[in-house]
């Protein structure tokens, strides 16, 4: 019987005894007096008892004794997108932020279990309830843990994981792919999510759903060098780019600290990044030719397009690893950039550790991706004259190399 029920019965019995005593003209015998004293003492004891909260007991058998003790690397890879050794290394790095003390109400979740819950939610479009059932926790716990782990990843790992690596290696890597003096490729990807009614007009696009933009610069291996997440899809890619720290650093010439200049027949070419038609043509950003194309322009476009495949592949692997990005994230608009940034960080960690990517994961995303078609690109006109000269010089170099 609950504490509240016992207290209520005791008080009711006490009042009944007092009422019986009044009906008998206050002729209360010694026995009734003793009963009254006992009831008063009993109610006093109940009110001073330590109150304890309780929760519905759920089974943690699967996590404690199967996942942690029985699963091999292949099972870890398929369910958590990384082998157990990589997972445990990640937990060790996040432990300073995620290690909590037990309380009087419940034992704290271990760091390993918190990270596993978050990664499981990110790796699948499953509901919070479904993930909760896998780990023997409550639905609300999954939502809380997801954000705690993502914030910890961004706080501890983002800046040293999503960063510019060895510039010479990147330039040499793109040169082997056919484009000289290239330091990265930029593009944008939309992340669909469930928007609240008051934000509908801000984030809805003509396709009829809500989305947020991830704009990323990648190296020749498809690792993220720089990311920016949070802008509504209705905002043009070029405007998003102009409002990023990356744009300001490239404009000031401070992003590539080792400015490798390539001497060409008519111009000096700095390190450039490559983009599609949505981006502005500048001294440090090359994009394809449009309109009527001769052979030399087509060769230039083909070389640029071949290198741009790195960012498309990076986005494909990102979505394949973390399917929740295409499962219409059910989070507040302020929380979604945190989750996107954490996924990009995890992507780089998996790439660095050489985690195998399974093509079957792409199949999981394809049926989701078909529902959220990427919007078409729009061209930006009015390029700088110097940028046009650099692009034309590159075009001539591609043409000359084709005759050798």
What are the residues facing 271 on neighbouring strands?
none
Structure tokens at 253: 């010439």
Band (pLDDT 50/70/90 cuts) for residue 5 is low
Band (pLDDT 50/70/90 cuts) for residue 378 is very low
- For the chain, domain boundaries: 3-47, 61-156, 167-402
**Is residue 341 exposed (0-12), middle (13-18) or buried (19+ Cβ within 10 Å)?**
buried
Dist. CA 279–CA 311, nearest whole Å:
15
Average pLDDT, the chain: 81
What are the residues facing 323 on neighbouring strands?
none
- Residue 269 pLDDT: 80
Band (pLDDT 50/70/90 cuts) for residue 387 is confident
Give the tens place of pLDDT for each residue, 91-117.
999 999 999 877 777 778 999 999 999
Instruction: Give backbone dihedrals phi and psi of 230, rounded to 5 degrees, phi first.
Output: 135, -15
Q: State what percent of residues in the chain have pLDDT above 90.
A: 47
Dist. CA 122–CA 319, nearest whole Å:
10
Distances (CA, A) of 177 to 94, 171, 349, 374, 386: 37, 10, 24, 26, 25
- Residue 375 pLDDT: 44
R_g of the chain, CA atoms, integer Å = 31
- Residue 108 pLDDT: 86
Within 157-218, residue ranges assigned H as helices are 158-161, 167-177, 200-203
DSSP three-state, residue 287: coil
36-42: long-range contacts, CB 8 A cutoff, minimum separation 24: 39/10, 39/13, 39/14, 40/14, 42/10
Under 8 Å between Cβ of 162 and 194: no
19: Cα separation from own chain's centroid: 67
pTM of the model: 0.77
Under 8 Å between Cβ of 183 and 308: no
Band (pLDDT 50/70/90 cuts) for residue 145 is very high
Give the tens place of pLDDT for each residue, 313-369.
999 999 989 988 887 677 877 899 999 999 999 999 999 999 999 888 877 777 666
Band (pLDDT 50/70/90 cuts) for residue 266 is low
Under 8 Å between Cβ of 216 and 311: yes
- Residue 58 pLDDT: 53
Give the tens place of pLDDT for each residue, 274-290.
999 999 999 999 999 99
Give the tens place of pLDDT for each residue, 288-299.
999 888 899 999
Q: Which residue has the higher pLDDT, 268 or 341?
A: 341
Q: Is beta strand 182-192 parallel, antiparallel or unpaired with respect to 272-274? A: parallel
What are the residues facing 52 on neighbouring strands?
none
């Amino acid at each position: 019987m609950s504490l509240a029920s016992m207290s209520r019965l005791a008080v009711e019995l006490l009042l009944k005894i007092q009422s019986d005593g009044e009906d008998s003209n206050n002729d209360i015998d010694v026995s009734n007096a003793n009963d009254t004293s006992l009831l008063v003492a009993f109610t006093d004891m109940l009110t001073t008892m330590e109150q304890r909260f309780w929760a519905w007991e759920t089974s943690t058998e699967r996590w404690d004794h199967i996942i942690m003790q029985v699963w091999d690397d292949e099972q870890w890879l398929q369910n958590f997108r990384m082998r157990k050794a990589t997972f445990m290394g990640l937990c060790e790095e996040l432990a300073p932020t995620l290690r909590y003390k037990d309380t009087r109400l419940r034992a704290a979740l271990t760091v390993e279990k918190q990270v596993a819950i978050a990664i499981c939610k990110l790796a699948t479009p499953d509901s919070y309830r479904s993930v909760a059932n896998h780990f023997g926790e409550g639905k609300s716990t999954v939502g809380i843990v997801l954000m705690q782990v993502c914030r910890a990843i961004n706080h501890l790992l983002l800046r040293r994981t999503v960063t510019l690596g060895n510039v010479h290696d990147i330039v040499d890597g793109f040169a082997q792919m056919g484009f000289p003096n290239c330091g990265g490729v930029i593009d944008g990807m939309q992340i669909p999510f469930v928007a609240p009614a008051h934000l509908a007009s801000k984030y809805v696009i003509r396709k009829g759903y809500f989305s947020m933009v991830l704009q990323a610069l990648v190296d020749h291996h498809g690792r993220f060098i720089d990311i920016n997440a949070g802008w509504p899809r209705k905002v043009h890619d070029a405007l998003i780019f102009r409002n990023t720290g990356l744009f300001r650093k490239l404009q000031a010439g401070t992003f590539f600290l080792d400015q490798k200049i390539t001497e060409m027949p008519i111009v000096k070419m700095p390190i450039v990044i490559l983009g599609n038609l949505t981006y502005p043509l500048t001294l440090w950003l090359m994009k394809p030719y449009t309109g009527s194309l001769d052979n030399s322009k087509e060769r230039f476009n083909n070389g640029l397009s071949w290198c741009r495949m790195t960012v498309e592949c990076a986005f494909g692997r990102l979505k394949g690893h973390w399917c929740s990005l295409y499962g219409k994230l059910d989070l507040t608009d302020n929380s979604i950039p945190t989750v996107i940034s954490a996924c990009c960080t995890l992507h780089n960690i998996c790439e660095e550790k050489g985690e195998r990517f399974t093509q079957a994961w792409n199949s999981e995303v394809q049926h989701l991706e078909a529902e959220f078609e990427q919007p078409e690109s729009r061209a930006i006109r009015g390029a700088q004259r110097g940028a046009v000269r650099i692009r034309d010089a590159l075009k001539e170099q591609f043409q000359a190399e084709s005759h050798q």
